[in-house]
Chains A and B, each alone.
Chain A
Amino acid sequence: MLQLLAADGTYGVPKGYEIYGKIIEGLDEETLKTFYRDMARIRRFDIEATALQRQGQLGLWVPAIGQEGAQIGSGYGVGNKDHIFPSYREHGVALTHGVELMSILKMMRGVNHGGWDPNETRFHHYAIVLATQVLHAVGYAMGVKLDGKVGTGNKEEDLAVISYLGDGATAEGDVSESLLFAAVNESPIVFFIQNNQWAISSHIDTQTKAPLYTRGEGFGVPGMRIDGNDVLACYAATQHHMDNARAGEGPFLLEALTYRIGAHTTSDDPSKYRGDEEVENWKAKDPIKRFEIFLRRQGIKDDFFEEVKVAGDDLAKDIREQTFALENPPLENIFNHVYSDEHPEIDKQRAWLKAYEAQMGDHE
């Protein structure tokens, strides 16, 4: 397993992993601070979103607490032309690619089903049906290759694709088919599995007999396990393997071993299927805490951490206010964009609803 930052905040490069260490050692202080700032920011966001759900402001919340290292690290490892296909818990990755955090809350509130333009953000929509997005990612990567945007050596031109998925999703047939299609097409893609060890109430042992980083081998996709609570390992591994994919070396699989500290969603009750001891054990490996120790050892002072905390509280206040101010979507959104081209039946139903509403008057 690639780990650069131990749970106690000690930095060290294991033998054979020097290439990853070199990536980290080339980072400036501002970048390291950004990693911390965004991990803390997305955790604060997560806590506030959970509170908003509890107050009835969101239909559902999907917490990602404990997975900030995997998400912020890998998110920043993705290049600025690459495309990202998330599952539905990648709020941290979304943050690293300019997706408005409010648009995630809008979706969870039920204002829309998506809410951002993936052509602009390169961060595609959340996929609720497990593993469906992995095939879309492979198809996109096949297209990138057909466009000749792989392995040209021109860094301004080349791009690759990353698909996020969870340990539970690996059991879906679409993942096996994705690995196969990516392998036979030599597609520029990295499969990034966040193994948080729990698929709702089912432990990883329910999903697989062999370690997940070996899942691609039979398909011809090599893999590696990384410490998912180590933001530096996640950053370095993602950057290196996305570089390789862009250079035309074909698909690669990363298994980030992490832990879902919170519930699967706000509808879940983890106390029914796992013990406190296990959770406490993983809290001790927290990605943010260990990175703070590392930064302090690098000479980063209290005022920075204080500033991040204040910014987090401001963010929480801001999203709370914005959530309360969210308006319901217009009724015609039921019918908009069902098709791109005109459709007489949809038009007829749209007109009917409009007339019906007019006849019924204001029923607020």
Chain B
Amino acid sequence: MSNYKEMAIAKALNAGLQKAMAADEKVLMFGEDVAELGGVFRVTEGLHAEFGQQRIFNTPIAESAIVGTAIGLAMRGYRPVVEIQFDGFVFPAFNQITSQLAKLTYRSEGSLQMPVVIRIPYGGGIGAVEHHSESPEAYFAHTAGLRIVSPSNPNDAYWMMQQAIESPDPVIMLEPKRRYWQKGPVNLDTAPLPLHNARLMREGSQVTLLAYGPMVTAALQAAEIGAEEGKSIEVIDLRSISPIDYPTIMASVKKTSRAVIVHEAPTNVSVSSEIAARISHEAFYHLEAPVIRVGGFDTPYPPAKLEEVYLPDADRILEAIDRSLDY
């Protein structure tokens, strides 16, 4: 019998981090306001009191240095976990992430490993001001050497945090900030899946609905409503954006013959662009409809009073599913 505990996603991330820090004294946590305050979303709450200033500390407000020094600490044998306070603040660190962190193992022909986790509260839906609601995953997914994951529920949050810290490679952990307070059971004994596996969330026969991070909740809602209307929608939580678990996707699409992909990010040159291309290649003869994508518009993220329109929701997803089924 496994031991379960009800937790919100933020608390599950906190518990996963706590467990990793307790298990390995080389795990460090640092960033802006992560110490006594516990971060602006309280994901690191209580860790400073438990582990002290050496293990978890506030840094000056300088994102390039947060990532750049994490690289140096990894070279020294540490496993740094750093927090970028908001998705829109990651860009000063873009150079260190893409030209250094991602490439140092390759440059050194394996002499150096880069077990660095970059935690980023991610996505929209919280009524925030500009630069607090971004979905920058495609920039990073394009860069070889990085791994990118996004948990959609507390159990994954708890385990994926620990798995990301164990990884010898750099992992960007996109934490769906508007779901931080969403609760669910956490299995405290057994990891559900390896870090980069997708999960079948709901079985269906007519169309495959692919989502990750904050959009998984919306996808499940759409499937629920669709079921009431007699539509059988299979929902897959990708969990990992780089690498993507294509075998799981293809098995489902070959079964349903239809695919709809949903994310908050603009659809232009996005994660869904890549998945659509891959489906058209690997499941071409199985398709009954073109792959349809539901995402943010190809605009800057709008002011908060417009974000409910900008962000995909169950209705927009169902509209896309109807189009797919009509082919």
Contacts and interface: CB of A to CB of B under 8 A. Distances in A.
Given A113-B107, A118-B111, A119-B111, A180 B65 contact: yes
Contacts of A174: 64-65, 68, 95-96
Interface size class on chain B is 35 or more
Given A181-B69, A339-B105, A340-B105, A118 B75 contact: yes
Interface size class on chain A is 35 or more
B107 A147 contact: no
A174 B107 CA distance: 20
B106 A113 contact: yes
Interface string B80-110: 0000000000001001100110011111111
Contact of A336 (B69, B92, B110, B246): B110
Contacts of B145: 338-339
A328 to B, nearest CB: 15
B73 to A, nearest CB: 5
A124 B111 CA distance: 11
A310 interface: no
A181 B78 contact: no
A287 B246 CA distance: 60
A140 B67 CA distance: 12
B116 to A, nearest CB: 10
Contacts of B108: 114, 117-118, 125, 337
B169 interface: yes
Nearest to A141: B72
B32 to A, nearest CB: 13
B185 interface: no
B106 A140 contact: no
Interface string A86-124: 000000000000000000000000001111011100001
20 contacts: A113-B109, A118-B75, A118-B112, A119-B111, A125-B107, A127-B100, A132-B95, A139-B70, A140-B72, A144-B76, A146-B78, A147-B76, A173-B92, A177-B65, A337-B110, A340-B105, A340-B114, A340-B168, A344-B243, A344-B246
Interface of A: 112-115, 117-119, 124-125, 127, 129, 132, 134-144, 146-147, 173-174, 177-178, 180-181, 184, 333, 336-341, 343-346
Which 8 pairs, one residue from A and one from B, show the smallest C-beta to C-beta distance? Answer: A139-B72, A135-B68, A143-B76, A139-B69, A177-B65, A340-B168, A140-B72, A136-B72
